[in-house]
Amino acid sequence: MKKILIPPSTELYIGRNLLTQERLYLGKLRTVLIADEGVKDLYAVDLAKRLHAELLVIPSGEKAKSLETATFLIDELFKMGCGRDTLLIALGGGVATDLVGFVASIYMRGVSLILIPTTLLAIVDAAIGGKTAIDTPYGKNLIGTIYHPKAIFADLDMLQTLPEKEWFNGLAEILKMGLIAEPAIWEMAEKNGRDPDLILKTIQGKIRVVEEDPREWGLRRILNFGHTIGHALETVSHYEMSHGEAVALGCAAEAHLSLCLGYLSEKEFAQILAMYKRFALKLPKGYARAKLFQAMAHDKKKALGEIRFVLIDKIGHAMLFEGACCRAVTQSELQPTLDWMESWKSSL
Amino acid sequence: MKKILIPPSTELYIGRNLLTQERLYLGKLRTVLIADEGVKDLYAVDLAKRLHAELLVIPSGEKAKSLETATFLIDELFKMGCGRDTLLIALGGGVATDLVGFVASIYMRGVSLILIPTTLLAIVDAAIGGKTAIDTPYGKNLIGTIYHPKAIFADLDMLQTLPEKEWFNGLAEILKMGLIAEPAIWEMAEKNGRDPDLILKTIQGKIRVVEEDPREWGLRRILNFGHTIGHALETVSHYEMSHGEAVALGCAAEAHLSLCLGYLSEKEFAQILAMYKRFALKLPKGYARAKLFQAMAHDKKKALGEIRFVLIDKIGHAMLFEGACCRAVTQSELQPTLDWMESWKSSL
């Protein structure tokens, strides 16, 4: 087991067979375990018993990351009489960690929080950095807070039961980290997408970025590479498309945009595209260019009505534009990339 | 005009005729003014025009401090296409500052916020310290965040149009500050409850407390004196009772509890009671002891199922109990105070 301190105040434990660790018992706090339906029988029931915790279960899937589910959880906590001396433990993928984190941050102005991410995506991305969120009909993650858990337990044993599709979801964020800041990660992934060292390296990369910019006013925005188009694709698909698929498509498209704007070389773009062709990339049902554009117009990175993109000038390097990490892109600059994406309707 | 820095990052401007100050224009941010219906014609329409701000209006009264109003505001902001580069200005009493503060803290994980409190209560209490909140059917302020505005403009000219009742609301929090930490404030208020120096002194008192304990894990809890019973009274009255009235009753009752538990002298209790008799103290319609008790059981200060109270041992001093600022009180210890409160059914 490895322990990593994430500023300002989170302890990350990564290793195998972590869930029996004493450290999970945080003092005399009343503990409520909130678990994704998908891991209820696999882990949640046992863990709740071991921790003498009450158990609440939320549905699986992005659709559960809603104000409705948050309100349901808050009502349950009130009914149980939970005070500020409550510890919420989130057990599940990014939906569970984002949603439970949000609830913990607003319930009685903040109660203690522990995250146990059970998917590769949540381990390398969602659980790290203190972002909490719920989705709205206007788009993904549009409501949320910055709130730091006391601890994160990343139990690699859990990944053994993870479906193939979930591996690709996590890999999409690993590759993104490679593209924007860590060329070594990209190289490792090109050789072996299953290399377990990728996990720790991606977490450490994210910690470095978040540490410099906890509230996302500057550098942290580079993490949004692939996400402007990615989030819009998810919205258009009504969240039927997984986050990883959407991010993979988004990264490919935003690499294409970087090429079209003259920042990225043909050669490196070809190298990037070759990697993403390993994914089964296709546009979601009901995709239409106008809908994508509308969904992007509600993106958080948008400033003063413009759509802003993080762009790369080589593998492993997101660009700076007069000190900012994103650049406004006009509709006509975006046109060639949208045209190119049309070809995905058949296959990539 | 006086400028006071409130840690970590809020500028408080207090004085007369502040709303024409240049400082209100925070850079190039898109500005949305969210105003209480009650000050719409008086100040909001003009101010919005002057700031080139869009104007949203919320209903007056505690009932507006709900998840429904928060959701309404968030939806309006989405419809207007507001991004993270938005500045929300709250104009109104404590309901507006608490509610808009909450919305600002969760909209796209936080946008810029300015508070313009228009009531004495909001100036001396609600606007200071970064607490945001909405009420739930389970009680007051049970959902919220800690989120600091960029600036607060406390324009004393606005108090000239304030109804008498609103003066008493503010005075209740001023007196509370006197009881828990600032004997000089209590003395001044005994001489002249309208002394304008009371305002600045109370703000400074609150800043001192909040500075030591921004997240309310310790000292800050003394600010809850009078609020355990006060909040419960508001809940029982379905928020028909004003916050100030409820806090005044709560302070009188919790001073009585301090007396019964042997901490406060008869003499000082009599002095305190004499002051609160200036208020028209009466129990809310539909009051029943059992309902009060149930409402208290959902209070945030409650730990492990106990009801906790801040207690005073003299005017100007809240007590410490083994380092904690509140003490668990059993139902039977509370009994004499609840009996005493029954007498308020007629009059105090």
Please report residues of A whose CB lies closer than 8 A to that of B110: 145-146, 215
Using a CB–CB cutoff of 8 Å, tell me whether A85 touches chain B.
yes
| Segments in A133-242 forming alpha helices (H) | 164-180, 183-191, 197-212, 227-236
Residue of A nearest to B136 (CA): A75
Written as one letter, the residue type at A344 is: W
Using a CB–CB cutoff of 8 Å, tell me whether A135 touches chain B.
no
Written as one letter, the residue type at B348 is: L
Q: How far apart are CA B279 and CA B266, in angstroms?
A: 21
Token pair belonging to A329: 């892109």
Q: How far apart are CA B115 and CA B259, in angstroms?
A: 38
Could you tell me which residues are beta bridge partners of residue A308? A328
Q: pLDDT tens, position by position, for chain B (348 residues)?
A: 899 999 888 999 999 988 876 666 666 789 999 999 999 999 999 999 999 999 999 999 989 999 999 999 999 999 999 999 899 999 999 999 999 999 999 999 999 999 999 999 999 999 999 999 999 988 889 999 999 999 999 999 988 888 888 888 999 999 999 999 999 999 999 999 888 899 999 999 999 998 888 777 788 889 999 999 999 999 899 888 888 999 999 999 999 999 999 999 999 999 999 999 887 678 888 899 989 988 888 766 655 557 899 999 999 999 988 878 899 998 899 999 999 999 887 654
Cα B88 to Cα B110, B298, B346: the distances in Å are 10, 31, 45
Residue of B nearest to A80 (CA): B298
Written as one letter, the residue type at A18 is: L
Q: How far apart are CA A318 and CA A312, in angstroms?
A: 4
Q: How far apart are CA A284 and CA A234, in angstroms?
A: 8
Contact A109/B145, CB-based, under 8 Å? yes
The helix (run of H) or strand (run of E) holding residue A15 is strand A10-15
Q: How far apart are CA B109 and CA A101, in angstroms?
A: 12
Across the interface, of B30, B67, B146, the residue whose CB is closest to A304 is B30
Using a CB–CB cutoff of 8 Å, tell me whether A321 touches chain B.
no
Across the interface, of B67, B85, B107, the residue whose CB is closest to A304 is B85
Token pair belonging to B69: 């109003």
Instruction: Tell me which residue of B128, B126, B116, B120 sits closest to B17, measured CA to CA.
Output: B116
